Structure 1
Amino acid sequence: MNGAGNGAGTAFRETSAEPRTESVPFSHLSLELGHLYMEDFIEGPSRLRRHFAAVRPWVDAARAGLGPLTGGKRPRISTCFLIDDYFSRLSTPAELIPPLLEAAAEAGLTIDYLARESGCAVADPAHRDRAELAESVLHRLVESPPPGSNGFRPPVSRTGWLTNGRRTPAQRTSAALDSTGVVWQPPGETGARGHSVFMDVELWSGPEEERLWSCAFLASVWQLVRLGLLRDNGAAVLTPAKWFDREFPAEWDALPPVLQLNKAAAPFTAYLTCSVLPARFLPVEHAVRVILDQVHVEAEAVQQVADRSAGEGFTVPAGVVDRTSYVFPPGL
């Protein structure tokens, strides 16, 4: 309890009533070495070896692109890999993870952190990080109303759809009653340069009590977690659990949402992210950028990044979406 002033005018307030935003450690870059579906793993070790062989040159390029820091210091870079255990579970951790790590090692790569995609929806109740992350990010969305909007469009919290501009009007105008027929208006991207690239993103399907979150929305949560910008009542979320030289269980829910596999790894969260992904993820990641551009992030978390990066002389873009980058290697 803290006090302010003297005598009868003294005011007291509970220290516990003051929200505290937990600090997290930061690397300079979080480098994602891939995101594969269960179907990819079922193809066997040769599929994994091809993946990491194709990823390796781009990982080297991403590392080199970061360059030396002020004073000649080496940048802190951590690697991660996201496994889809949310949409399907065709194999077990014990069967799937060891061949994955072996294939990465054959290509000269080390996976520092391994994450379960289901943890980006709701982390397992058996673990400390139980926050319903997808739901919390949904509540942080602040839609950008397009120019000329009349408020007719229902909010994203009701529809489950988020766009980067103005949709084609659903209602007919009075001109539709003319003999010339219906007047059609095209959609438009907010802030388009010359021509529009309009996108309408589905965030979930199914009824509210049984939502199935979309890949794009979970990938947005994944980016926010890697950037160290999500909190649950001020507490850090999806903090990695140390998993050194341990066997992998037969059930996915027996694993923490994020594992630290490398004792010498730089921090999981980072000022910037880079993801090396198959080209089929390009439309998904376009959708991720649309979502991230409309997420309200806690000011304290943003300020922590600004203060820490400034202290290191490392420039971090102001916009969250500008802190993310991608590589889509041909043939991956």
Structure 2
Amino acid sequence: MSGTGAAFQETSAQPRTEAVPFSHLSLEIGHLYMEDFAEGPERLYHHFTSVRPWVEAARASVPALPDGKRSRVSTCFLIDDYFSRLATPAELLPPLLKAAERAGLTIDYLARESGCACTDPKRPERGGLAEAVLNRLVETPPPGSRGFRPPLGQIGWLSNGRRAPDRRTTAALNTAAAWQPPSETGARGHSVFVDVELWDEHTGSRVWSCAFLAAVWQLARLGLLRDKGSAVLTPTAWDAAAFPEDWDALPPLLRLNPSAAHFAAYYTCSVLPSRFLPVEHAVRVILEQTHVDAGAQAQVVARAAAEKFTVPEGVVERTSYVFPPGL
């Protein structure tokens, strides 16, 4: 007796995608290196006074909501404790918050860049957000690709098109005409080819690049990161009187303002120094080739639709930047 077979699976075997609340805009008002902090409080104050007009403009740019409802905007600040730790949280964070307040700004959420690499530094063997996002990268093969380049997971480089050939044929040794330039996939007219380094291992262990960690940071702000269905890099309320002496004693993401709007948002805007422009270009290349969690993406679409708030399908289209002059 023959017939079609049916496979049954208990619903409990399928991980449920945890929902997260959303603001309309996540507004990043700074991402500074440790050497910036070393210049003192006035350097921090200059940063925030330069940022403030653009912060106000970004707030005003949020589309009007139905029924006159007020838009939800939260601010965040990413601090580099991954590549260097020149000072302790107890020494560094109070002057930072004071400089922001002096400039008329409030930091709702404070994130540690090391949290974008590994959420549990005491147990690095468990991997972390960077490793999880790496596993979600789907390299887009450019037209005419022959596949002789080693895979992304081995070399740690991701591009937005076709690289120049790195193997010479016998014919290529005899004529310069055999060389081909790199080309951007989907270029409009001329190519802007980018080859992004995701990590290196020169020190004997994997060190994630600034661009890759910034891409993880964007995905976190967009509410698209999950671990077996569970939300990750969620805010921890911080109401202690003082900050600790050890960075690893701080949760990866702090909610400093009890009345802040939600951390995750439908859109992100980052107001950054112009030196971050090439980094953020690389971030967009990474996001364009990241297969985001389908359940998380579906929740974004459903939540936005319920609010009658338009959200584009593409992740990249939900990110924006401001690079103020003189910052």
> What is the alpha-carbon distance in structure 2 between the residues aligned to residue 20 and residue 207 of structure 1?
39
Query: Is 1:290 aligned to 2:285, yes or no?
Result: yes
Query: Is 1:19 aligned to 2:11, yes or no?
Result: no
- 8 Å CA contact 1:131–1:237 kept in 2: the answer is no
Counterpart code for 1:311: A
> What is the alpha-carbon distance in structure 2 between the residues aligned to residue 312 and residue 126 of structure 1?
40
Q: Let me know the Cα RMSD of the aligned residues.
A: 1.8
Q: What does 1:239-278 correspond to in 2, within 5 Å?
A: 239-278=234-273
> What is the alpha-carbon distance in structure 2 between the residues aligned to residue 121 and residue 94 of structure 1?
22
> What is the alpha-carbon distance in structure 2 between the residues aligned to residue 12 and residue 123 of structure 1?
35
Larger CA deviation: 152-161 vs 256-265: 152-161
Query: What runs of 5+ residues in structure 1 fail to find an aligned partner?
Result: 1-10
- Residues 57, 184 of structure 1: CA spacing in aligned structure 2 closer, same or farther, 3 A cutoff? same
Which residue of structure 1 aligns with residue 167 of structure 2? 171
Query: Is 1:226 aligned to 2:221, yes or no?
Result: yes
> What is the alpha-carbon distance in structure 1 between the residues aligned to residue 274 and residue 29 of structure 2?
14
Query: Is 1:210 aligned to 2:193, yes or no?
Result: no
Counterpart code for 1:26: F
SS in 2 for 1:66: coil
Report how far residue 172 of structure 1 moved: 1.8
Query: Is 1:76 aligned to 2:72, yes or no?
Result: yes
SS in 2 for 1:210: coil
SS in 1 for 2:317: helix
SS in 1 for 2:26: strand
Which residue of structure 2 aligns with residue 96 of structure 1? 92
> What is the alpha-carbon distance in structure 1 between the residues aligned to residue 158 and residue 8 of structure 2?
44
- 8 Å CA contact 1:33–1:275 kept in 2: the answer is yes
SS in 2 for 1:325: strand
SS in 2 for 1:288: helix
Report how far residue 268 of structure 1 moved: 0.4
- Residues 13, 164 of structure 1: CA spacing in aligned structure 2 closer, same or farther, 3 A cutoff? closer
- Residues 173, 261 of structure 1: CA spacing in aligned structure 2 closer, same or farther, 3 A cutoff? same
Counterpart code for 2:315: V
Which residue of structure 2 aligns with residue 197 of structure 1? 192
> What is the alpha-carbon distance in structure 1 between the residues aligned to residue 203 and residue 128 of structure 2?
14
TM-score normalised according to structure 1 size = 0.93
- 8 Å CA contact 2:34–2:86 kept in 1: the answer is yes
Report how far residue 261 of structure 1 moved: 0.4
SS in 1 for 2:178: coil
Q: What does 1:36-51 correspond to in 2, within 5 Å?
A: 36-51=32-47
Counterpart code for 1:152: F
User: How many residues end up aligned between the 2 structures?
Assistant: 320
Q: Which residue, out of 318, 321, 327, partners 2:316?
A: 321
Percent identity of the aligned residues? 72
Counterpart code for 1:114: L
> What is the alpha-carbon distance in structure 2 between the residues aligned to residue 101 and residue 138 of structure 1?
33
Query: What runs of 5+ residues in structure 2 fail to find an aligned partner?
Result: 1-6
Which residue of structure 2 aligns with residue 61 of structure 1? 57
Report how far residue 208 of structure 1 moved: 10
Report how far residue 67 of structure 1 moved: 3.8
- Residues 323, 109 of structure 1: CA spacing in aligned structure 2 closer, same or farther, 3 A cutoff? same
TM-score normalised according to structure 2 size = 0.94
Report how far residue 175 of structure 1 moved: 2.9
Q: Which residue, out of 114, 122, 125, partners 2:110?
A: 114
Q: What does 1:295-314 correspond to in 2, within 5 Å?
A: 295-314=290-309
Which residue of structure 1 aligns with residue 325 of structure 2? 330
The structure 1 segments of at least 4 consecutive aligned residues displaced by more than 6 Å after TM superposition are: none
Counterpart code for 2:216: V
> What is the alpha-carbon distance in structure 1 between the residues aligned to residue 250 and residue 202 of structure 2?
28
Which residue of structure 1 aligns with residue 101 of structure 2? 105
- 8 Å CA contact 2:196–2:282 kept in 1: the answer is yes
> What is the alpha-carbon distance in structure 2 between the residues aligned to residue 312 and residue 181 of structure 1?
59
- 8 Å CA contact 1:226–1:268 kept in 2: the answer is yes
- 8 Å CA contact 2:121–2:248 kept in 1: the answer is no
> What is the alpha-carbon distance in structure 1 between the residues aligned to residue 144 and residue 286 of structure 2?
21
